[in-house]
Structures are given as structure tokens and as C-alpha cells.
Chain A
């Protein structure tokens, strides 16, 4: 029970200190009085007795303090006193405190936000069972040229049958359905995935309602079933459990809803609305091909099997397949990546670079605050010297300094976490294309990290000034008469060193941002090969049921195109399955009829697009040779193709391509097309060189989806509504999706780059401001300290210009040193971001020179004001002041 007793005493000591203090006084007073009484009994008079007792007793205050030391919680009381003292000191200089807190908040906030993103997106395991064994499988080639090719249906089947390294293997593919109701609800185009039935069990996902797919659902003859995402179920069906077992229309075909996925299941992203069964959706012939690369394959490694082992296993199988099918685009090896890595690979480097930038920003913020604190401690050095002389220990002074900086960093940190929270909200809403964006939120670990950062920043910013004021200077400080004629060199040098570091880091950030911006501008100025100004685009998807025949499809496309062209303000309208800048959606292998057969294992491949006759004129893609497609070439008579210049260069060098024939292997035998024209190249992806392309006639009628592109005289968005009205008039059940301008399409494909560049620029500008404030502060401080000296110089005849130059050089020296440091460091740092750069050398001289010039100009501006003030010093006043 003793601990209980001790605890009760401690609690009493904590909460009724005042009372206990009074009692201690009583106790000591009683002792003193007894002594006095004894002394008087020994024959002294009262006064003598009291003096003698006091002498014997010693210093009652010290005794009281020592006794109180025995009480617990004393440290707490001291801490409270220091905090009160620190707060008071900070409140007395509100300008300084607010700047310091805001600087700290920016640094900490940016870091917490970025850490949250990095942790949620890159580090946090996927929310699945056995997530460390889940992998993505890719076809690859043994020479290592392609490592991430998606998998053909036949290959998937072979792997599944023959591989021994996996517990399970599932195939999936992104698709979209025209989702409509049976009773006239608005149609919508729904993003969806079709997957083999075992995907969900493989991931360990149970449906929230209803049941999952069974192997019986996953075959061509089965009844059509679908599972809805939680979001779609809530949004479109009001969360009504009665939807289970009901029928909905996908592409105008009835599907039975069998289950609802749990709310947390947002794989691969939040846009996926529903799931269907793969083998039911895709024709069996497709699922046996080794040449049609269509599917994402996810597998669960067996326990104890490593990725290299599994890769070897799979590559063996794939090499065998290749031997079996030496013709056509069949790969000869396999590649395996952890599922998470496969998902976030594209954003990884960018995120880490931005994270590194925020770390730099925080370091700059800390250096800046340390700098400001050094200035303050220098201004207060007399106060500290006096306190030291009166018996204050050095530890005590350091502790006060630390507590002051900790108060700043804690206040800044709390504000920073708030900033981070806002930033994350903004980020998640603007960048829903980042994989796993929905998983981004702060958690305990992040807050712990924030607390750690706050502590480290506080200690870092506080220790530099605390340690810089050493004991040995006390005497000198006190010796210094009230007139100090020149600034103390030491703390000034320390501040200049801190500043140089700060400037150096700023330069690194600025150069990084400069390179990314230049790279982004290169990207945006890439000529796609077609017009991008005033072009409106929208996706059209004709449902299979209503548009069964080629004639029907062609008739719709033709009518649409003709009616759109008649709208006022339309300069041209065309249809294509894929627009430039929309990446490669489809490519096919082919042969050239006039050429001798290719050696085994070699294939010709080109990107495949279907276009209507007006497409090239509408998009202003120049014709180089021959003619365009013609409107009367339709259905069976559509046997002409147009090819891109790269195709001529790659496969028909030095020949006249016109009149040659492209032969395509179709399901019903080879199909031959005559080349009638050659057009200039267009780019599929602004970051990649042009790829050979064959433009097949859309009027052949094989395609049900196309993108309508409209070139307008003025603002293209004004046409969005009239065009949609025309589409509704043609077919009121037809959903229109992705109404975008060409600019927006390019914007989307360069979103990552623009995002990284903009964030880095923001951080770089912030740190530039911080560095400028730092320079300004240091020089102002030096000037203030040397006012008397300057006054004497001027009184002795120094020219004002000389003074100006002297002071400017004083301020610019750390900036120059920092610039040199930063440029040197940038040579290393820019190598690290090389993979993010497009058409920009990591040592791009323009960027390096621009940054140096900008930095020097800003530094000069920051120094100009204090230096000018120094040169205006009135000698009389300077000598009189103090």
C-alpha cells in the first residue's frame, strides 16, 4: 500500500502546492522561534537571540527551495515558469513571433501533407489479405526492351495452368458500359472492370451485400451478372438492398445484380462503378489468343516463393509459348512486380522529389528561425551576461532559449497541421487521378511524425543560438562599455554561415523547379501534329443491341457528322476512334502484300485508328501524298487506308507507298487494304516520339465507339450543348462522355508534370522569400550594430558610396557563398530528377543562369534597403545615440 500513500502525497503536492508552501513556512518559522526561545533562555536579549538564530538557520529562502526540491513535481513547476517566461518574451515582440510561427507552419504543414501523401499512396499496404504476396504479372521480352506488357488471354490461361509459384491468378480489364435503366432513367457511361471470378477471393474481398462471382458465372453460357460498387449503389439506387436479384441494362443487355462491394473497396480507383465476369464478357476465341495483349493479371504468390523464383517459373512457360508461336507479337519472357509498386510506379519519383523539396523547405525554415533567434540572443547578450554573473547557470539559459523556440515550433506545428489538412483536401479533390487518392488521410503515424518534426525543429532552431552564446564571453560582454563600436564578429559569422546554407538550399530548390518547369513547357509546346486550338471533343458509344449492323452504325456516324457541320461556328468536324494525345489504345500487327514474307519471329506493328473521311481536314493533319478516304467508301467497299509518315519511314523506306496493300489477319481470314494516302505524323503521347499509324475507314462500320472532334471558329465550349442536343435528337438513349477541349486532353496527359513543376515552384518561391527575409534581417542587424562605427567613418570623411558598397558586400557575401554551394549541390540533385525531365538537360544552362541571376537580384534587393540606410547615417546622431 506504500505506493498508494506515496501517490496520494504526490497528488496533494501537485494540486495544493500553495497550502503546502504555507505549511512549510509555518514549520520553518516554528523551528526558528524555538531557537530564538532557547537563545533567550540562555540569556540573550530578544534581538540578539533572533540574530543568532538567523545566523544558525542560514538562508531561509534557500532552505525552503531545497526542501521543496524533495517534493515531486518541482520540475513541472519550473517548466511552467519557463513557459510563462518564454511566452511573455515572445508576446513582447509580436512581429518576430508571428513571422517565426508562420514560417514554421509552412514548413511543417508542407511536410506533414506530403508525408501523408507519400505514406498513403506509396507506403501503406493495399487493404487486402496477404497483400505482401500479391503481385502483377506482365509479359516481357528477354532482351529487356518491354517489361510491362499486359497479358494476352491465351497466355493467361497457359500461365494459370502451368505455373507452380502461385496460389491463384486472376485477369481483369478496364471497360465501360452504357448503363441505363429498364424504365427510362438517364443513361450514363459507367467505368467498369471485367474480371475473372476468382479476383475478389484472391484479394480476400467479401461483398457487403449479396454474393461474389462464382466460377459458374464466369463462362460464356452463363447468365449475365454484375456487382455494383458501393458508390454506384448509393448514388443511383439509393442504397436500396432490393436491387439485389433485379436486372439493370449494360449496353442495352440485361444483367442481374448479384452483390454490392464493400465501401472500402476502391481498387484500382474510385472511378470504377461496377464489375462483370470476364469469361462471360469476352469471346472465347479472344481468351485463347497469345497475340492480343488485353489483360491485367494479378496473382497471389505461394508462401515462401520469392519474386525472382516466380519470374523464372513464368518466363520458362512464356519462352515455351514463344517457341510454339514464333510468328506474331508473342513475348518470350515474363516480369513480376509487387501489386502496390505496379500501381504507383508512375507517380513515385515525382512524389519523392516533391517530398524532398518540402524537407528542404523545412530545413530552410528552421535555419531562418535559428537565424532570427541568434539575432535576438545577440541583442540580449548583456541580459544573459548579467544573469550568469548573478549565478544563473548556463544550462538554465540554454533551457530558456530552447523553451522559447519550442513554443514557436509547437505553435507553428499546430498551425501547420491545420495547413496540411486543408492542403490534403485540396489535393484529393484536384488530383483524383493519383492512384489510391482515396486512401489519402492523416493517421496516427503521420501525427506522430508531425510531433517529432515539431520537436526536432524546436531543438534545432533553439540549440544553434543557445550554443553560440558561450560562458567565456560573459566577462567580455560586461567589460564592453555601453558604447560598442563594432559588431561582435562571432555571432555575425554564425548568422552568415546559416544564411549561406539557406541560400544554397534555396538555389537547389529553384534549379529543380526551373528544370521541371522548362520540361513542362517543352511538353506543352510539343506539336501534336494536328490543331489543338478551339477543338471540342466528345466520346460516342453506340450500344451493341441497337446498332447491330455496320450500315446502322455508319448511318449514325455520317448523320451526326453532317448535322454537326451545319451548326454555326463549326469549321470542321471529324470522327476517330482515338485522338492525338490520347495514348495508344490499340495496335495490330499486319503484313505488306507486296513484300516477301518476313523472317520467322518478326512482325510489323502499327497503331490502329478508324477515321471518317473528314477527320484529317477537321484536325488539320496535312496530307503528304495521295488522297484522303472518301465518303462513298463504306461497308464492304471500304478497302482503303491512309498511313502515317513514320510508317513509310519504318516499313516502306524508299518505296512509293501508294497502291501497296496492308494485310490484316481477321477472324474470317486475311483482309487486304490499299494504301491511298500518307499523312503527317501525330503524337499519341507528348512525351514519346511518333508511332507508325494506320488509319482505317470508320465507315467500314466495324467500330461502335468514336470520338467526335469539332474545330470551331471561337470558344469551343459554346458548342457543347448544341452538339449534345443533336446527339439526343438522333438517339435519346445515347450517353455522351468526356466532353473536353483538345487543350484539356493534353492537359490531362501532362497533369503529373505540371503538378510536380507547380508544387516545386511554390516551394522554391517560398524558400526564396525566406532567404530574402533572412538576408534582410542579417544585414539590418549588422547595420544597427555598426551604426556608431559607420558614423565615425563618415565623420572622418568616408564617402557614402563607399559605405553603401561596404555594407552591400557584407550582405552579399553569404548570398554568393550560398549560390556557389547551391549550384554545386544542384549538379548532383538534378541528376536525381533526370527521369522526370522531358527535352531538358539536367544541367540546362538557361535554368542555372536564370536562377543565379534571379537569386542575386533578390539578394541585392534584400540588402539594398539596410545598406542604403547605413549610407544615410547622420554621423552626429550616430555618435550621440546609445
Chain B
């Protein structure tokens, strides 16, 4: 049972880290935020989101805390760690390089 992958492999991590760079958010909010900011183009599937979140947490790039959400329920809030911030920088740089390169190729052709 493959999961629909609308996102280029590996970019989901970058999106999550970027989304969390402003403030701590829970999973639902992260998905919503990515959807909104991308103008509904990027749909983050739960099937990818939660494994990615747990993986990032294991890597030590984000940390999680249980706190009260806007609706008053307990929710798991993720926030960036110092290491995560560094990772975000290097991944952003990577992404810029990559997308520029792709752009050049696409435009030239």
C-alpha cells in the first residue's frame, strides 16, 4: 500500500522545519500551514506527516511538548531545536541550489 507522494522526496522535511522556524505548532497546524502558504498546492498527507515528524524528532532536529491547543485540548507541539535550525539552513541552501539548477535546465531547453 504505497502512500500518495505529492512532494518531492525529502522536501517534506524542509517544509516542516521551515514551518516550525517561526513558532511551535502541532501536526494538524503544520499541515494546514503548508497547505495555506502554498496556496493549496501542497497537500500534506497524514501518512507522510506523522512518520516524518517522529523521524525528525528522533534525529534531534525538532522537539515535542504537550501543551494546550487553541481549542483547549492537549496537543503535541513541535518546535525547532538549535540543531534543527542549522539543518534548516543547510537544507534551504541545498534546495535553492537545486531549484535554481532545475530552473536553468528547464528554461534553456
Chain A residues in the interface with B (C-beta under 8 A): 2, 5-6, 9-10, 23-24, 26-28, 30-31, 33-35, 37, 56-59, 62-63, 66-72
Which residues from A are CB-within-8-Å of B46?
28, 31, 56-58, 63
Specify which of B45, B47, B83 lies most central, judged by the most chain A CB atoms within 10 Å of its CB. B47
Given contacts A63-B47, A66-B47, contact A30 B73 (CB under 8 A): yes
Are A30 and B75 within 8 A (Cβ)?
A: yes
Mostly, the A contact residues are: helix
Give the residue name and chain of the A residue nearest to B55 (CB). A70
What's the minimum C-beta distance from A870 to chain B, rounded to whole angstroms?
A: 48
Cα distance A34–B66 when bound, in Å? 16
Does any Cβ of A come within 8 Å of B76's Cβ? yes
Cα distance A23–B76 when bound, in Å? 9
Give the residue name and chain of the B residue nearest to A65 (CB). B51
Does any Cβ of A come within 8 Å of B18's Cβ? no
Given contacts A5-B60, A6-B59, contact A69 B51 (CB under 8 A): yes
Are B60 and A9 within 8 A (Cβ)?
A: yes
Which residues from A are CB-within-8-Å of B47?
58, 62-63, 66
Are B50 and A30 within 8 A (Cβ)?
A: no
Are A37 and B58 within 8 A (Cβ)?
A: no
Does any Cβ of A come within 8 Å of B8's Cβ? no
Cα distance A56–B51 when bound, in Å? 16
Are B58 and A6 within 8 A (Cβ)?
A: yes
What's the minimum C-beta distance from B85 to chain A, rounded to whole angstroms?
A: 12
Does any Cβ of A come within 8 Å of B22's Cβ? no
Are A28 and B74 within 8 A (Cβ)?
A: no
Which residues from A are CB-within-8-Å of B45?
58
**Can you report 30 A-B residue pairs in the complex whose CB atoms are below 8 A from each other?**
A2-B83, A9-B57, A9-B60, A10-B58, A23-B76, A27-B26, A27-B27, A27-B50, A28-B50, A30-B26, A30-B27, A30-B69, A30-B75, A30-B76, A31-B31, A31-B50, A35-B28, A37-B71, A58-B45, A59-B1, A62-B1, A63-B46, A63-B47, A66-B47, A67-B50, A67-B51, A69-B51, A70-B54, A70-B55, A71-B58
Which residues from A are CB-within-8-Å of B75?
27, 30
Give the residue name and chain of the A residue nearest to B46 (CB). A57
| Top 7 A-B residue pairs of the complex, sorted by shortest distance between their CB atoms | A70-B54, A70-B55, A34-B28, A2-B60, A5-B60, A67-B50, A27-B76
Which residues from B are CB-within-8-Å of A10?
58
Encoded as 1 (CB less than 8 Å from any A CB) or 0, chain B from 70 to 90 comes to 010111100001010000000
The interface size of chain B toward A, counting residues with CB under 8 Å, comes to: 27
Are A67 and B58 within 8 A (Cβ)?
A: no
Say which residue of A26, A59, A72 sits within 8 Å of B58 (CB atoms).
A72
Which residues from A are CB-within-8-Å of B52?
70
Cα distance A66–B50 when bound, in Å? 9
Which residues from A are CB-within-8-Å of B51?
63, 66-67, 69-70
Cα distance A371–B5 when bound, in Å? 47
Encoded as 1 (CB less than 8 Å from any A CB) or 0, chain B from 11 to 24 comes to 00000000000000
Give the residue name and chain of the B residue nearest to A10 (CB). B58
What's the minimum C-beta distance from B9 to chain A, rounded to whole angstroms?
A: 15
Give the residue name and chain of the B residue nearest to A31 (CB). B28
Which residues from A are CB-within-8-Å of B59?
6
Chain B residues in the interface with A (C-beta under 8 A): 1, 3, 26-28, 31, 45-47, 50-52, 54-55, 57-60, 66, 69, 71, 73-76, 81, 83
Are A6 and B55 within 8 A (Cβ)?
A: no
Cα distance A417–B19 when bound, in Å? 59
Cα distance A845–B82 when bound, in Å? 84
Are B58 and A30 within 8 A (Cβ)?
A: no
Which residues from A are CB-within-8-Å of B71?
34, 37
Say which residue of A2, A31, A33, A71 sits within 8 Å of B54 (CB atoms).
A71
Which residues from B are CB-within-8-Å of A57?
46
Which residues from B are CB-within-8-Å of A35?
28
Cα distance A66–B66 when bound, in Å? 21
Which residues from A are CB-within-8-Å of B73?
30, 33
Are B58 and A9 within 8 A (Cβ)?
A: yes
- Extra pairs beyond A28-B46, A34-B71, A68-B54 (14, CB < 8 Å): A2-B60, A6-B60, A9-B58, A9-B60, A24-B50, A26-B74, A27-B50, A30-B69, A30-B74, A31-B27, A58-B46, A67-B50, A69-B51, A70-B52
Which residues from A are CB-within-8-Å of B74?
26, 30
Which residues from B are CB-within-8-Å of A66?
47, 50-51
Cα distance A2–B71 when bound, in Å? 33
Give the residue name and chain of the B residue nearest to A23 (CB). B76
Which residues from B are CB-within-8-Å of A6?
58-60
What's the minimum C-beta distance from B15 to chain A, rounded to whole angstroms?
A: 17
What's the minimum C-beta distance from A571 to chain B, rounded to whole angstroms?
A: 92
Cα distance A18–B59 when bound, in Å? 21
Cα distance A58–B58 when bound, in Å? 24
Cα distance A71–B59 when bound, in Å? 10
Cα distance A62–B45 when bound, in Å? 13
Cα distance A59–B81 when bound, in Å? 31
Give the residue name and chain of the B residue nearest to A37 (CB). B71
Which residues from A are CB-within-8-Å of B28?
30-31, 34-35
Which residues from A are CB-within-8-Å of B57?
9
Cα distance A30–B31 when bound, in Å? 13
Give the residue name and chain of the A residue nearest to B57 (CB). A9
Cα distance A839–B52 when bound, in Å? 78
Which residues from A are CB-within-8-Å of B55?
70
Cα distance A297–B13 when bound, in Å? 77
What's the minimum C-beta distance from A417 to chain B, rounded to whole angstroms?
A: 39
Cα distance A62–B3 when bound, in Å? 11
Which residues from A are CB-within-8-Å of B54?
67-68, 70-71
Specify which of B46, B47, B57, B76 lies most central, judged by the most chain A CB atoms within 10 Å of its CB. B46
Cα distance A58–B51 when bound, in Å? 14
Give the residue name and chain of the A residue nearest to B48 (CB). A66
Cα distance A50–B67 when bound, in Å? 25
What's the minimum C-beta distance from A89 to chain B, rounded to whole angstroms?
A: 28
Cα distance A69–B53 when bound, in Å? 12
Which residues from A are CB-within-8-Å of B81?
5
Cα distance A68–B50 when bound, in Å? 9
Cα distance A23–B1 when bound, in Å? 25
Cα distance A6–B63 when bound, in Å? 11
Give the residue name and chain of the B residue nearest to A8 (CB). B60
Which residues from A are CB-within-8-Å of B69?
30
What's the minimum C-beta distance from B80 to chain A, rounded to whole angstroms?
A: 13
Give the residue name and chain of the B residue nearest to A62 (CB). B1
What's the minimum C-beta distance from B88 to chain A, rounded to whole angstroms?
A: 14
Are A63 and B50 within 8 A (Cβ)?
A: yes
Give the residue name and chain of the B residue nearest to A68 (CB). B54
Cα distance A9–B53 when bound, in Å? 14
Specify which of B27, B45, B60, B81 lies most central, judged by the most chain A CB atoms within 10 Å of its CB. B60
Cα distance A31–B75 when bound, in Å? 9
Given contacts A5-B60, A70-B55, contact A26 B50 (CB under 8 A): no
